[in-house]
Amino acid sequence: MKNNPKVTVIMPAYNSEKYIERSVKSVLSQRHQNLELIVVDDGSTDRTGAILRRLSAGDQRLRILRTENHGPAEARNAALDILDDETDYITFIDADDEFLPDTLSYALESAESGADLILLGYTIVEEDGREREYNEFDCLVRPQDMKTAFARLYKANLLNQVWAKLYSAPLLKKAGIRFKDYLWGEDRLFVFDYLERCSLIAVRSECKYRYIMHAGESLISKFYPKKFSVCIEADIRAQELCRKYGVADDADFRYMFAKSVFSCITTLFSPSCTLSDEGRMSYIQEICSNPRVRQRCRDTSGGASVSTLCAVLRHGSPRTVMNVFRSVAFVGEKAPDLFIRLKHRK
């Protein structure tokens, strides 16, 4: 590793005027100063652009790229397309999240080992200030170790998001990996595509990335019509990697797939879903009749509650499935702690 490696931080931003200044400052105030922050203003119509221009006037490390509104996947791709040859590592941050002051310096400690990918712990900060941490113990993971490590890292929710990670810029450029233009799930597919090209992965235990939830956000994700097809694609990729790494028992991967299917159904009851009851029933019927759901949503890890919901998916009528998952969505809104224990059980 270079004595003073350059890190490029990529931030997509759309109508982020309420939070972006704090987020940008959390990057520019890093103890590791050899960095560039590329903020892709994805067609914002609020004061996001003006705030960025003001901040960039005081720090040339802030680089602003203005694009039409195409979503975070294309915004990140636009930033990846303009990386300079001096960049050694790449990381990502959302426009309403934060780095702790030593996030980059802490991650770069593991870069000295030659790791292609550094996984950091992260903290979800809820609106009321409560915090939930997601992390694993410090270790180095080689391809031969992934037979056991892959499931552990996936189930610990360390491979689902593109942020809280440091990527080798030369490897990423050589592989030519880009984000697929989805509104959900593109992070996981990007990480999977990069993961299989890594010769060494470093896991760091401390939580250095802060994912901030804001007023009005729900634990139940927004409805996205293509979400189920992306779940299928992600599970296929996970199975391919299981074969590559020689994972003998993929119960944890079936569990993660089942959770994603559960999420597809619970989003039907979010305020963002405008489908009629007939439309919801048709969507549920498509899921319940899918051969992969019937095959994979069985004998999972995750405990009795997951097994019960899987059984409902496989054997219940669409009406029964709809009623059961309507109740799950209700629990998510009225008893969030219970819902989180189900959703993020390790």
| Cα 94 to Cα 26, 73, 156, distances in angstroms | 12, 12, 21
pTM of the model: 0.94
pLDDT the model gives residue 223: 92
- For residues 172 and 178, what is the distance between their CA atoms, to the nearest angstrom? 9
Distance CA 19, CA 34 (A): 24
pLDDT of residue 266: 93
What pLDDT tens digit does each residue of the chain (346 aa) get? 678 999 999 999 999 999 999 999 999 999 999 999 999 999 999 999 999 999 999 899 999 999 999 999 999 999 999 999 999 999 999 999 999 999 999 999 998 899 999 999 999 998 888 899 999 999 999 999 999 999 999 999 999 999 999 999 999 999 999 999 998 899 999 999 999 999 999 999 999 999 998 865 555 678 999 999 999 999 999 999 999 999 988 999 999 999 999 999 999 998 889 999 999 999 999 999 999 999 999 999 989 989 999 999 999 999 999 999 999 888 877 666 655 655 554 4
Q: Report the interhelical angle of 251-266 vs 227-245 (nearest 10°).
A: 170
Which token pair is 322?
């709809």
As a three-state string, the secondary structure of the chain is CCCCCCEEEEEEECCCCCCHHHHHHHHHCCCCCCEEEEEEEECCCCCHHHHHHHHHHCCCCEEEEEECCCCHHHHHHHHHCCCCCCCCEEEECCCCCEECCCHHHHHHHHHCCCCCEEEEEEEEECCCCCEEEECCCCEEECHHHHHHHHHHHHHCCCCCCCCCEEEEHHHHHHHCCCCCCCCCCHHHHHHHHHHCCCCCEEEEEEEEEEEECCCCCCCCCCCCCCHHHHHHHHHHHHHHHHHHHCCCCCHHHHHHHHHHHHHHHHHHHCCCCCCCHHHHHHHHHHHHCCHHHHHHCCCCCCCHHHHHHHHHHHHCCHHHHHHHHHHHHHHHHHCHHHHHHHHCCC
- All structural domains of the chain: 7-212 (3.90.550.10), 227-343 (no CATH)
Q: What is the pLDDT of residue 152?
A: 96
pLDDT at 95: 97
